[in-house]
Amino acid sequence: MRERLKLHINGIVQGVGFRPYIYNLSRKFQLDGFVFNDPKGVVIEIEGARVRIEHFLRELKESSPAVSFIDTIRKERIVPRGERGFLIKESIVAREKFVFISHDLSVCGDCLRELFERKNRRYLYPFINCTNCGPRFTIIEDVPYDRPHTTMRGFKMCSLCTNEYHNPSARRFHAQPNACLQCGPGMNLFSSKEGLRGRFRFLQDTQDVIERAAQLIIKGKIIAIKGVGGYHLACDAKNTEVVRLLRKRKERPTKPFALMVDNYKLLGQYCVLKRGEREIFCNPRRPIVLLRIRKKAHWMEAVAPHQEYLGVMCAYAPHHYLLLSALRKYQKEPILVMTSANRKDYPLVHREQELKQLRHCVDYFLIHNRPIHMRCDDSIVRVFRKREIIVRKARGYTPDYVELPSLKEPLLKASVDKIKILGCGAELKNTFSILKDNYIITSPYIGDLKNYHNYEFFLNTLSCYRKVFGFHPEVVAYDFHPDYLSTQYAHSLECKRKVGIQHHHAHIAACMVDNALAEKVIGVCFDGAGYGLDQKIWGGEFFIADRKSFLRAGHFKYFGLIGAHKAIEEPARVALYLLYDFLRDNLFDLDLHFLRHFKKEELDIFLKLIRQRHLLLTSSAGRLFDAAASILNLKHKISYEAEAAILLEMYASHFKGRRESFGFTIGKEKGIYCIDWQPLFSDMIKDIQIGKSASFIAHKFHFTFARLIKEMVKKLRKDFGIKKVVLSGGVFQNALLLKETVKLLEEVKFSVYYHSRFPTNDAGVSVGQVVVASENIT
Ligand code: ZN
Ligand code: ZN
Ligand code: FE
């Protein structure tokens, strides 16, 4: 008795070898029928004996391709047709488009083997890929995911490649970017002059090109290398002279550079590789992993000044492997600096027209002609308690699909399911998120919208998301800050509803979704800056919150920002306010180093401003960390975001010894708890005066923060009876603070939640915005 079943499968099932997998599975169980991509996923019809169909279904659920992700399988019994054989049919294009597009994947083990196999027809070919690996999101222009909708459409497959593409038993069956030396993209090396002139000739046989690039790197040259989601600036990491030159040219005096190696074994001698870190390092997503330095080598200070961590990634494009392998002729253990190729505050360069932005930075260009459609920077992750924590989410991690934990009432759920929401994000570290069919899909990391080129990047990515995900916002959510460009964009849109959302509520809501929480929680949001309901700048907040609303239950005592945003760049200004606030002119008897940062006239003006009380007020925890770094004479003016706070963390993490804490007091004003920082800084100064080390004091500062969080949430647990604590905000990027806080809270029986899939910094804000909006429109 023959039966026929129609299956609709949703999830990441396009561009990950799903159809060939189904084909092979149907052959294995001798079933007839067909499979094709439709705009919502994959549709299969299978026909044959019932037991065989059952085996087929079991195996489908248990062993689908490694990079695929099955969300739902809908089954329908239909009338048998008696056809013979199994077919892969043409994809169907439709109007209502929503497809789970896969993220980019590094070259796989099989392709890597072929790449270095002399007899293979793709020997040393930099664009080798297969059904299980290669570019995806960055080359897709439209759906369904088929070659004509990718940037590979300009390359016509040769007969050998065509055969592989159509042969269900080949590794490259329906591999959309399939290519070889006969028919695929090429690469070439150009001097900076040639590169800027823009007339390129590319070669498929790149052996010579790669060899020359390796020689140039050995000679201490800086090369811009086109990769998967954009360009990198590359040089020899162990050549301190060229690393310093790169810093000068890129106007980036101290921000750490990312490194690339082709083998994790090499890392063992430089970094501590904890459990979980090796797996994440070798994962086909290939993020930059922040690894603790084991022993400082002489070259590290130039690559990552004052850092205790190195950001390292494993090679992911075939040409990265080719280059590192060519370098092995000259060096035993080649390590490359691979920093994003962009001008300060500009987006990553991803197209040849933008190369002129790099003219002051590079000596050579290594360019290929497979166009990058979606710009996508490298992702950054760290491992905390064996769990991956995403710091910057981009290549290999976007797009991703996080289901919004469902609402209790099914009726409400059904109506929300259909609503399409756009969350425009914050300003610094901007991302946007969309909510469609109850999935949250976040954009890759965009950056600081104050720069017009980043704003353009925001607009382009959004229009791409509209197209690829068939998304048209009905509701738009934005930050309360009136000056954010993302907010102004939201106001310019024409749509049904617009919802303003408080910055830190969005942070907490993002972390709630990250941990599938829907109930009321204590939210601790320690952040740089966010617009408050009282028009002051919030950033050291304790909320009682759920996904719909929040109550501000506690915060740091307000302090003034001398020169508003100038105070963010100059932590010494914050330090001055905080100390002058309670020491007044006695401050100048103390001979504190940071005071020398100011010119006499400047100091007079600042003191006058403090006395007149005409300053923007903030409760920002981030600024308190900055101030501590300045008082300790670590940093008075920063060259990249959060530099001072990061230095404070680095000093603190050297410290080994008994944990001590400064004093602090928690008072109550108008029903809201308020933490006074005065005793804290007053104790700190005493420690400086008796000559305690910077690392001791920095650690004590961190531990004080963990303790004050504990004392505050204990009060809130008593008042509100809530035991779940959610930690969010940029300050929790500080691994030491996170570690100490989680530990202290767990000791007193709190359940503690922090970010992992969404960044704790402002890149997570857009996620929280769509979540809060979705709860407030019903
Ligand atoms: Zn492969
Ligand atoms: Zn070919
Ligand atoms: Fe924030």
What is this structure's pTM? 0.92
Q: 374 CA to middle of ligand 1, Å? A: 21
At 387, the amino acid letter reads R
Cα atoms in the Cβ-side hemisphere of radius 13 Å centred on 197: 9
Query: Are the C-beta atoms of residues 261 and 267 closer than 8 Å to each other?
Result: yes
Question: Predicted confidence band at 479 (pLDDT cuts at 50, 70, 90)?
Answer: very high
- Smallest-distance ligand from the CA of 620: 3
CB atoms within 10 A of CB 332: 7
**C-beta pairs of 684-692 under 8 Å, 24+ apart in sequence:** 684/628, 684/631, 685/579, 685/590, 685/592, 685/631, 688/592, 688/631, 688/632, 689/590
User: DSSP class of residue 295?
Assistant: S
Q: 160 CA to middle of ligand 2, Å? A: 6
| pLDDT reading at 49 higher than 90 | yes
Q: How far apart are the C-alpha atoms of 356 and 362, rounded to whole Å?
A: 10
Q: 477 CA to middle of ligand 3, Å? A: 16
Percent of the chain with pLDDT over 90: 83
Q: 155 CA to middle of ligand 2, Å? A: 9
The rounded Cα 758 to chain-centroid distance in angstroms is 8
- Smallest-distance ligand from the CA of 157: 2
Q: 151 CA to middle of ligand 3, Å? A: 36
Q: What six digits make up the tokens of 444?
A: 């890759």
> Tens digits of per-residue pLDDT, 643-674?
999 999 999 999 999 999 999 999 998 999 99
* DSSP H or E run through 20: helix 18-28
The stretches of 328-369 forming alpha helices (DSSP H) are: none
Q: 148 CA to middle of ligand 1, Å? A: 21
> Tens digits of per-residue pLDDT, 740-757?
999 999 999 999 999 999
Instruction: Tell me the CA distances in angstroms from 174 to 21, 86, 167, 446, 720, one per residue in order.
Output: 11, 15, 8, 32, 57
| pLDDT reading at 415 higher than 70 | no
- Smallest-distance ligand from the CA of 165: 2
Q: 369 CA to middle of ligand 2, Å? A: 15
- Smallest-distance ligand from the CA of 184: 2
* DSSP H or E run through 24: helix 18-28
| pLDDT reading at 69 higher than 90 | no
Q: 217 CA to middle of ligand 1, Å? A: 28
Q: What six digits make up the tokens of 406?
A: 């469902």
Q: 117 CA to middle of ligand 2, Å? A: 17
Laid out side by side, the sheet with 475-479 consists of 402-403, 439-442, 433-436, 421-423, 475-479, 497-501
Residue reference for tokens 């600036």: 233
Q: 528 CA to middle of ligand 3, Å? A: 6
| pLDDT reading at 29 higher than 90 | yes
SS (HEC) of 629-657? HHHCCCCCCCCCCCHHHHHHHHHHHHCCC
Query: Are the C-beta atoms of residues 399 and 461 closer than 8 Å to each other?
Result: no
Q: 318 CA to middle of ligand 2, Å? A: 17
Q: 164 CA to middle of ligand 2, Å? A: 9
pLDDT reported for residue 345? 84
Question: Predicted confidence band at 299 (pLDDT cuts at 50, 70, 90)?
Answer: very high
The helix/strand/coil state of 414 is helix
Q: 187 CA to middle of ligand 1, Å? A: 20
- Smallest-distance ligand from the CA of 129: 1
The full length of the chain comes to 778
> Tens digits of per-residue pLDDT, 372-396?
999 999 999 999 998 999 999 999 9
Q: 573 CA to middle of ligand 2, Å? A: 62
- Smallest-distance ligand from the CA of 204: 2
Instruction: Tell me the CA distances in angstroms from 650 to 327, 630, 703, 734, 736, one per residue in order.
Output: 33, 14, 14, 9, 9
Q: 124 CA to middle of ligand 2, Å? A: 14
> Tens digits of per-residue pLDDT, 91-112?
766 544 467 889 999 999 999 9
